[in-house]
Amino acid sequence: MKKIIYILCIAFSCCSPDNRQGDTIQTKELGVLIKGLSNDVANLKHSTIIDYAGLDGKKQHSRVRTLENDTLTIYLKDIKKPHLLELFSFGESSYNTRFVVSPGDAVTFKMNHGELVFSGKNAAHYNFYTKMSTSIAQKYEDIAFWEDFKNYQAACVKIRNSQFQFLKQYTELHPEVSEKFVSLVNSEIAFECLYNLMVPRKGEIKAKISENQKFYGYINIPLNTSELLNGISATENKYTFGFLDTISLQSFNRSDLINNDYFKRSLKTYLKNFVIPLDTMLNEKDSFSLKKNKIRAQLQGPVQYLAIIYLLKEYRAIGFGNDTHTKGLFLAEIEDFKNKELLPSYIKEIESLKNDLELSQTTIPKEVLIEKLRTSTGETITLEELIKRNNTKNTLLSFWSFNDNSTLSEMVNSKAYSDGLLQNNELSIIYISLDKTQDKWSSVVHNLGEYTSANQHYRIGKKSHSFILKYFFKLPDFKNHWIYVPKWSILDGDNSVFLMNAPNPKDSLVFKGLLHKIK
Report, as an integer, the average pLDDT of 501-515: 76
Q: What is the DSSP secondary-structure string of 425-447? A: G-EEEEEEE--S-HHHHHHHHHH
Residue 141: CB atoms within 10 Å:
14
- Which pLDDT score, from 0 to 100, does residue 166 have? 97
Report, as an integer, the average pLDDT of 127-145: 91
Q: Based on C-alpha coordinates, what's the Rg of the chain?
A: 23
Residue 44: inside a domain: yes
Whether pLDDT at 224 is above 70 = no
Write out pLDDT tens, residues 330-339: 999 999 998 8
Report, as an integer, the average pLDDT of 389-398: 86
Write out pLDDT tens, residues 179-195: 999 999 999 999 999 89
Higher-pLDDT residue of 26 and 123 is 123
**Which range among 11-25, 118-132, 437-451 shows the weakest confidence by mean pLDDT?**
11-25
Write out pLDDT tens, residues 454-486: 999 999 988 888 999 999 988 877 666 677 788
How distant, in Å, are the alpha carbons of 252, 459, 505 from that of 378? 51, 10, 28
Residue 260: inside a domain: no
Write out pLDDT tens, residues 101-112: 999 999 999 999
* Helix-helix angle 344-359:301-316, to 10 degrees: 30
**Which range among 114-118, 299-303, 304-308, 514-518 shows the weakest confidence by mean pLDDT?**
514-518
Write out pLDDT tens, residues 22-73: 333 344 457 899 999 998 888 998 898 988 888 876 655 567 889 988 899 9
Residue 263: inside a domain: no
Percent of the chain past pLDDT 70, that is, above it, reads 78
Q: Is the peptide bond before 175 cis (omega within 30 degrees of 0)?
A: no
9 and 157 inside one domain:
yes
Residue 254: inside a domain: no
Last residue of a domain, one of 247, 272, 300: 247
Residue 421: inside a domain: yes
Residue 50: inside a domain: yes
- Which pLDDT score, from 0 to 100, does residue 345 have? 83
Residue 255: inside a domain: no
In three-state secondary structure terms, 63 is: strand
4 and 34 inside one domain:
no
6 and 86 inside one domain:
no
Residue 308: CB atoms within 10 Å:
23
181 and 294 inside one domain:
no
Whether pLDDT at 167 is above 80 = yes
Residues near 1 by beta carbon (within 8 Å), at least 6 away in sequence: 172, 175
Residue 257: inside a domain: no
Q: Number of structural domains, the chain? A: 4
366 and 505 inside one domain:
yes
Q: Name the pLDDT band for 519 (thresholds 50, 70, 90).
A: low
- Distance of alpha carbon 266 from alpha carbon 192, whole angstroms: 8
Q: Write out 85-150 in H/E/C secondary structure.
A: EEEEECCCCCEEEEEEECCCCEEEEEEECCEEEEECCCHHHHHHHHHHHHHCCCCHHHCCCCCCHH
Q: What is the largest CA-CA distance in the chain?
A: 71
Last residue of a domain, one of 359, 390, 411: 359
Average pLDDT, the chain: 80
Residues near 142 by beta carbon (within 8 Å), at least 6 away in sequence: none
- Which pLDDT score, from 0 to 100, does residue 517 have? 74
Higher-pLDDT residue of 397 and 421 is 397
- Distance of alpha carbon 362 from alpha carbon 263, whole angstroms: 37
Full-model pTM: 0.75
- Distance of alpha carbon 320 from alpha carbon 517, whole angstroms: 10
Report, as an integer, the average pLDDT of 257-268: 92
377 and 344 inside one domain:
no
Which run of H or E residues covers position 35? Answer: strand 31-38
Whether pLDDT at 443 is above 80 = yes
How distant, in Å, are the alpha carbons of 34, 128, 416, 460, 467 from that of 369? 42, 50, 30, 13, 9
Last residue of a domain, one of 359, 390, 412: 359
Residue 38: CB atoms within 10 Å:
24
- Which pLDDT score, from 0 to 100, does residue 181 have? 95
Q: Name the pLDDT band for 7 (thresholds 50, 70, 90).
A: very low
221 and 319 inside one domain:
no
342 and 375 inside one domain:
no
112 and 152 inside one domain:
no
Name the residue range of residue 459's domain: 362-516
Contact 85, 99 (CB under 8 A): yes
Higher-pLDDT residue of 441 and 146 is 441
Percent of the chain past pLDDT 90, that is, above it, reads 37
242 and 189 inside one domain:
yes
